Structure 1
Amino acid sequence: MKLAFSTLGVPGMPVPDVLRLAVTHGYHGVELRAHPEEPVHPGLGLTERADVAAEFKDAGIDVLGIAGYPRVAAPGADEPVLDEIRTLLGLARDLGAPFVRVFPGGFPGGSSADGPEPSQEQRDEADARAARRLGTAAEYAADVGVRILLETHDSHRTGAAAARVLGPVGHRHAGALWDVMHTWLGGEQIADTYAALSPFLGYIQVKDIASADDTTPLPLGAGVLPLAECVELLTRKGWDGWLCWEYEKRWYEGAAPLPELLGPGRELLARLLTESA
C-alpha cells in the first residue's frame, strides 16, 4: 500500500513546503484540500495549475486526490452541486489526480447523531438524490479520467449507508472514500465496512482520536481507532491501494502540529503493514 497525508493537517502551507515534508518523511502522495483558503483550489488559472503539477512531478510525489465539499445528498437543486463537482473534476484532471472527494450531507446538522433522527422517507430521498447526482457526475468524471469518491461522513457515515447510494449508481467512476473514524463512530465493524465498500473502494483515510466524545486529532496509534485491525484486514484481502492520514488540524487549533508527527506516523503505518504481510 502507498501512504499519503492530507493538507487539512497543514492548513495554508505553500506547496513547496508540503512537498518537502512528503519527501523528508517518505510519503508517496498528498491529498489536497480544495478550499479557497488553501494554495491549491478551483480558482487557480491554467498556468498556476501547470506549475503545481510540475512541482509534484519534480518531487516524485503523487497528487492523490482533490478533497472537495459538494454535498451530493443535500436537499435542493441538482445543478449547483453538479457544477461544483465539474469544477473539481477539472482541477483534478489538470493536476493529474485520480480522485475527487465529495460529502453526502443529506440531513441538517450533519450526521443523524447530531440532530433529529431522520425518517425513513427522508433517508430514502437523500439516497435517491445522491445516487442521481453521482450517476450524472460519473459521466463527466469518465470523460476526464477521474473517479468521484463519496466519503463515509455525516448523514452516510457507515459503509452500509454509502453502499446504499453507490450500488444503484453502478458506475466505475463513482466510488467510496472510507474514513475509518466515521465508520467507527457509526458503530460499524471493520470487516462489515470492508464488505460493504470493497466493490467501490477508492482509498482510505486513517486518523486517531481519544474517544467518541473527543475527536481532537491524535498521533497515529495514540488513540482508540482500530488502525491495526484495518490494515491487517486490507492486507489479508489483498487490497493494494492508498492509506491517507487525514489529521484534522484545521478544525482543532489546540492539536499538536502535524509536521513533527509525520515521521512517527509513517513508521507506525509501515510497521503495521510489515506485521500484516
Structure 2
Amino acid sequence: MIQAVRHPQVGVLWDVHHPFRFFSEPLADTYEKLKDRIRHVHLKNSVATDGGVRYTLMSHGDVPVVEVLRLLASGGYDGWIAFEWEKRWHPEIEEPEVALPDFIRVLRAAEAQLDIL
C-alpha cells in the first residue's frame, strides 16, 4: 500500500516487536523493507514462552535493541522512538516507574556502544 501511495507525507510506524516476535522476521529484513518510509518507531521487549509471549523490561527481553538502533542510525533516522509499556492490557508487568528508567538505561547503554544518539 505504501508503495502505491508514493507521497512524501505518507510513512510507516515501525513497531519493531510485532514482525520480530510474531513472524520471526529478521530485523534487518524488516528495516530494509521500511527504511525509506519510517516516520516513527515503537519499541518494547518480551521473551517467547510456551503459551506465547511474556512482556519484559527493555533490559530483560530478547528483542535486540542495539541492532534496532544501529539499523536506524545507518539510515539516518532522526525521528521519535516511543517506548511501549502496555500495563493497562498486561497488569502483571512492572510498574511504569520501574520500566521507564530501565528503558532509559538501555538506550544510554546503546548510545555508548554505538555512539549514535
Residue 217 of structure 1 aligns with which residue?
A: 55
Q: CA deviation at 1:219?
A: 0.6
CA distance in 1, matches of 2:88, 2:18: 17
Structure-2 change in CA distance of 1:243 and 1:225 (3 Å)? same
CA distance in 2, matches of 1:247, 1:210: 15
Residue 233 of structure 1 aligns with which residue?
A: 71
Q: CA deviation at 1:241?
A: 1.7
TM-score (norm 2): 0.86
- Tell me, yes or no, if structure 1 residue 192 matches structure 2 residue 29: yes
Larger radius of gyration: 1
Q: Secondary structure at the match of 1:172?
A: coil
Gaps of 5+ in 1: 1-164
Sequence identity percentage: 27
Q: Secondary structure at the match of 1:234?
A: helix
Q: CA deviation at 1:231?
A: 1.0
- Preserved CA contact (<8 Å) 1:208 1:218: yes
Q: CA deviation at 1:190?
A: 1.1
- Preserved CA contact (<8 Å) 1:232 1:273: no
Which is helix-richer, 1 or 2? 1
Residue 104 of structure 2 aligns with which residue?
A: 266
Runs of 4+ in 1 over 4 A off after TM superposition: none
Residue 172 of structure 1 aligns with which residue?
A: 8
CA distance in 2, matches of 1:241, 1:220: 20
Gaps of 5+ in 2: none
Could you say what the CA RMSD is over the residues aligned between the two structures, in angstroms? 1.6
- Preserved CA contact (<8 Å) 1:181 1:206: yes
TM-score (norm 1): 0.38
Q: Which has the higher contact order (CA 8 A, sep 6+)?
A: 2
Q: How many residues align?
A: 113
